Amino acid sequence: MPITDVFASNVFDEAKMKEYLAKDTFQEMEKTIREGKPLNPKIAEAVAHGMKEWALSKGATHFTHWFQPLTGVTAEKHDSFLNPSKDHSISLEFSGKELVKGEPDASSFPSGGLRATFEARGYTAWDPTSFVFIKNGVLCIPTAFYSYTGHALDKKTPLLRSMDAINTQALRILHLFGHDDVKTVRTTVGPEQEYFLIDLEDYKQRKDLLYTGRTLFGAPCPKGQELEDHYFGTIKTRVQSFMQELNSELWKLGVYAKTEHNEVAPAQFELAPVFSTTNIATDHNQLTMELIQRIAKRHGMVALLHEKPFEYINGSGKHNNWSLSTDTGMNLLEPGDTPYENAQFLLFLSAVIKAVDEHQDLLRLSVATAGNDHRLGANEAPPAIISMFLGDELTDVLKAIETDQPYGQKKQERMRVGIDILPKIKKDATDRNRTSPFAFTGNKFEFRMPGSNSSIAGCNIMLNTAVADVLEGFADTLEKADNFEDMLHTLIQTTIKEHKRIIFNGNGYDDSWIGEAESRGLLNLPTTPDALPYSIKPENIELFERQHVLNKEEVYSRYEITMEEYTKIVLIEARTMVGMARKDILPAVSKYTQSLADTLALKKQTGVSATYEKANLDEISSYLDKAYVALKDLEAKVKTLEETEDFEKAANYVRDAILPAMSTLRKPCDKLETLVSAEVWPFPTYGKLLFGI
Ligand code: ADP
Ligand code: MG
């Protein structure tokens, strides 16, 4: 089937709505979608009916409200369309009420105390801007999830609120620039998704991968990524057929899967979609992660979405390409052709600069997870310090504005916003720096810190809220100005002056950057428990409340949930390590030393030289003892952690005691892997895992 027929064939999109809904219902729906208006309850019944007819024609039997609780994965509870009738026959039904609102028993989702257990009800409400789709014979309705008291229990509600906030403020600015025709401003996102593929049989033999998604032991194999022969290399047949199926399944769901290639590390791959509106991009990224995993299994492989599945080689991220665009087709981060367009571009650019500088903490903490801590700051991913890359050209322009100096050929006059033309910023002039966490890439920003496993809702909530708040301040100032142009120039100039410290075009992987960043007063928050407490700072709570994105209780509950999640994840890892060391590694090695000792004794008896056995036995035994000591220590620390009730104390203990103890245990065990005979080692090695597919 041609792609054009496959694409969105499982989505109730505008084309299907046109076919299945009456004309006036369709027009109402269109307005709802285009302008982000709430659904008119009067048409819910008719929409539900059309939807059901379409779903039945596609063979669907069930429906579900599809939502994104704070666990980071999507949740669904299927109900069938079946309805018993009086005469023992059945009818197939789906009401407007069922479409608009759901009431899952939600007591097992994390709520951070927002939903007392006696009031376990949670509600889901349809987000009509994200299309309904069919997945595995189930009609999925993308919804927001909130408590009886109206508190957000998911990632989507604050995301939608943050999009509203930025819409309101950006519109005010655009109206000042005379764009009265613009009705909505939406943030757009194109998330590039990295992942690893390994063989299913190898995976099953590793408890660490099974329980934690990453390897907790493993000596480096002789070949890593040093030859750079995997990056963009020919894709192997098995992977190719997986990608083909993945693409076609994603296309059916209306996901614009566009680019696929091998990544830097062996067995690492990337998928990039064409960008879309942030909430849709978020839904689609969740679906992409789900499908990558499901389809890999069909090809005898397992997809690892963990940020750092393997030591010694690159981890996986999710580059969040972000911009703002209007319903009239303007990209607000695209430098324009006229001085006036450029002035508008520079204003939005300044807003992002100020937002990123003022809210480094929020951006940093939005990507803080146990998994991502292994990646950020390592020599492969952006450092844990937030800075922005603008490229030399744009930085020079800003400098000229800041210092009232001429720019480029114009030797005499000062650079004036709204009068002078900007140089054409070439895309490749801006896209070279791969070490920056937040890079301007010609007409969008690329936030490179998010981890491969996280929902992109988190970082976009922060980004949207921070930029909305700055735009609000800008709009307040500009609306009051007697002379708009003068005020615009001053505003941009002061913003650059006050926030230029965040701009860094150098090498973010360089160690000297850490010292320099510190002298600039930039935040360096290396770990999750360092970063998360910033979310509950009074000024941040005020910001979230001011922009109506999260209230105080919601912020606190999220803080508690994310801190606890960090602890739980590492606790599972620590227990898994203990189990593997105790039950697999140490007994296997001990048994091997027995065979060495037997041979040694035999050789001694017969008077044959036994240098190899003796030396080997010594070395292995000494690492075995080290491993045992480390194991006992980790076991004791796990016990202490299990007894720690306070969630903040627990998270700090994980960072300060558990993780170091885990790495102390890993070292002798990895060494042992290199010392014993290959057949003794109880699970597949890095070489097998990384080069096995
Ligand atoms: P690369 O980073 O590999 O050079 P591109 O710059 O073409 O590739 O795009 C990377 C991602 O950025 C893609 O997912 C693309 O759809 C997305 N993107 C492009 N333009 C925008 C935009 N205006 N807003 C958000 N994302 C965008
Ligand atoms: Mg990119």
For ligand 1, atom 8, the nearest C-alpha belongs to: 272
Which of 120, 154, 188 is the endpoint of a domain? 154
CATH number of the structural domain spanning residue 260: 3.30.590.10
Tell whether 371 and 432 lie within a shared domain. yes
Same domain as 173, residue 112 = no
1/522: higher pLDDT: 522
DSSP-derived secondary structure letter, 374 = G
Minimum-distance ligand 1 atom for the alpha carbon of 190: 14
Q: Which of 129, 154, 179 is the last residue of a domain?
A: 154
In a domain, residue 558? The reply is: no
| Confidence band of 5 (pLDDT split at 50, 70, 90) | confident
Residues with Cβ–ion distance below 5 A, ligand 2: 319
Provide the strand spans (E) within 292-372. 301-304, 318-326
Dist. CA 510 → ligand 1 center (Å): 26
Name the closest-CA residue to atom 17, ligand 1.
190
Q: What's the pLDDT tens digit per position in 634-692?
A: 999 999 999 999 999 999 999 999 999 999 999 999 999 999 999 999 999 999 999 87
Atom of ligand 1 nearest to the CA of 192: 14
- Are residues 326 and 375 both part of a single domain? yes
In a domain, 555, yes or no: no
Is 144 found in the same domain as 168?
A: no
Domain assignment of residue 138, given as a range: 3-154
* Distance from the alpha carbon of residue 448 to the mean position of ligand 2, in angstroms: 8
217 and 669 in contact (C-beta within 8 Å)? Answer: yes
Least confident of 241-245, 260-264, 276-280, 336-340: 336-340
Burial of 633 per CB tally in 10 Å (0-12, 13-18, 19+): middle
Please give the Cα distance from 546 to 168 (Å, whole number).
13
Residue 33: pLDDT above 90?
no
Count of domains for the chain? 3
- Expressed in angstroms and rounded, the spacing between residue 281 Cα and the centre of ligand 1 is 12
Domain match, 130 and 172 both: no
Atom of ligand 1 nearest to the CA of 273: 14
Question: Comparing C-alpha atoms, which of 429, 427, 404 is closest to residue 414?
Answer: 404
Residues 181 and 121 in one domain: no
Residue 442 lies in a domain: yes
Residue 560 lies inside a defined structural domain of this protein: no
Atom of ligand 1 nearest to the CA of 442: 6
Note whether residue 651 is domain-resident: yes
- Residue where a domain terminates, one of 154, 175, 207: 154
Residues 373, 368: Cα–Cα separation, whole Å? 7
Residue 556 in domain: no
In sequence order, the β-bridge partners of residue 125 are 101, 144
User: Measuring from each residue's beta carbon to the nearest atom of ligand 1, which residues come in under 6 Å?
Assistant: 188-190, 192, 272-275, 321-323, 331, 431, 441, 443-444
Q: What is the mean pLDDT of residues 401-411?
A: 74
From ligand 1's centre to the CA of 619, what distance in Å?
53
**Does the residue 125 lie in any domain?**
yes
Q: Which two tokens stand for residue 264?
A: 């830097």
Q: Give nearest CA residue, ligand 1 atom 7.
A: 274
Distance 265 CA to ligand 2 centre (A): 16
Atom of ligand 1 nearest to the CA of 441: 6
Residues 479 and 596 in one domain: no
In a shared domain, residues 332 and 431: yes
Please determine, for residue 404, whether its predicted confidence score (pLDDT) is greater than 70: yes
Does one domain contain both 134 and 179?
no
Note whether 150 and 172 are same-domain residues.
no
Please check whether residues 535 and 590 belong to one and the same domain: no
Residue 515: CB partners within 8 Å, gap ≥ 6?
A: none
The confidence score (pLDDT) of residue 413 equals 61
Give the pLDDT band of residue 223 (cuts 50, 70, 90).
confident
For residue 97, which amino acid is it? K
The CA-to-CA distance between both ends of the chain, in Å, stands at 29
Q: Which CATH number characterizes residue 94's domain?
A: 3.10.20.70
- Ligand 1 atom nearest to 334, measured from its CA: 23
> pLDDT (tens digit, 9 = 90+) per residue, 296-306?
999 999 999 99
Q: How confident is the model at residue 396 (pLDDT cuts 50, 70, 90)?
A: confident
Å from CA of 320 to ligand 1 middle? 9
Please indicate, yes or no, if residue 545 is contained in any of the structural domains: yes
Q: Helix or strand or coil: residue 344?
A: helix
Mutation test of ligand 1: which of 250, 264, 332, 444 has the most ligand atoms closer than 8 Å to its C-beta?
A: 444
- Ligand 1 atom index nearest CA of 431: 4
Q: Are 7 and 147 contained in the same domain?
A: yes
The CATH number of the domain holding residue 681 is 1.20.120.1560
| Mean pLDDT along residues 388-417 | 79
Instruction: Give this complex's ipTM.
Output: 0.96
467 C-alpha to center of ligand 2: Å?
Answer: 22
Alpha carbon nearest to ligand 1 atom 4, residue: 431
Task: Among 194, 232, 275, name the best residue to mutate to test ligand 1's pocket (greatest count of ligand atoms within 8 A of Cβ).
Answer: 275
Average pLDDT over residues 383-401: 90
Whose C-alpha lies nearest to ligand 1, atom 11?
A: 190
